[in-house]
Amino acid sequence: GTDRAACQMPAPSSPNAATALTKPRAGGMPMRRVLVLNCGGTIGMQDTAHGYACGPPGFLSGICRSVPMIHDPAFDLAPHLDAVDAASRGDMLVTPVGEFGTRTLFRIVDYDPLLDSSNMTEKEWVRIASDIAAAYDAWDAFVVLHGTDTMAFTCAALSLFLHNLAKTVVVTGSQIPLVRPRSDGISNFLGALLIAGTFDIPEVAL
C-alpha cells in the first residue's frame, strides 16, 4: 500500500486557483524560494565520449551557475537569504529579472542515485511526493526535473498524491542536456522557474 499520509499538505488558506505574486522580499524586490528536485533525465546529463551520461552530484548546479540566463552571478544574494534555511544558503542561485519584473531564488537538490525515468514506479512517485511534502513549509514552490519517458505519468501521479496542494509544482525536462549549445532544457527550465517563481497555481503542471 502507498503511504498517502506522508503526502498531506496543510489545508489551503485560499480557494484562488492562480494569483500573481505580491509578497515583497528584502529591499522591496519580490523574491520566491523554489526548491528544484533533480530526479534525473537528459536535462542534467554530461557529454562524454560514449554519449550522454549522468553527471556527479552538484554537476547541474555548476552548469546553471555558468549560464547567465539561468543564474545572475552579479546579484548580491546575501540580503535575501534570511528566509532561507542555513543549510541551503551556500547552494542558492538566483535568476535574472524575468518578464514579470521578479527574480527567483532557487536551490537544486540532486537525487542520489539519479532516477532513470524509463524505470519509474509507484515507489519513485511516492518518494518525490514525500520529498515535496517534507519541504513544503520551507519553500514557496517546487520544480521537478525529470526524464521525458514517463514525465506525464509522474505528473499525473503527483497530482493524486499531493493532497491539499496550495503551491505551484512544475515538472519539466528536456531532449538535449543543458551542457549542449542547442539544448531545449534552458527554455524549459527557465519557463518552469518563471511560473513557479511568479504564480501561486495549486496544481502539478507539466
Query: How far is Cα of residue 190 from the mean position of the Cα atoms in its chain?
Result: 10
Query: Catalytic site residue 42?
Result: yes
Burial of 76 (0-12, 13-18, 19+ CB in 10 A): exposed
Question: For residue 198, which phi and psi values (nearest 5 degrees)?
Answer: -125, -35
- Say if CB 102 and CB 21 are below 8 A apart: yes
Question: Which among 2, 19, 22, 42 is annotated as catalytic?
Answer: 42
- Other CB atoms closer than 10 Å to residue 205's CB: what's the count? 16
41: its cell numbers: 533525465
- Say if CB 110 and CB 38 are below 8 A apart: yes
H or E stretch including 42? none
Catalytic residues: 42
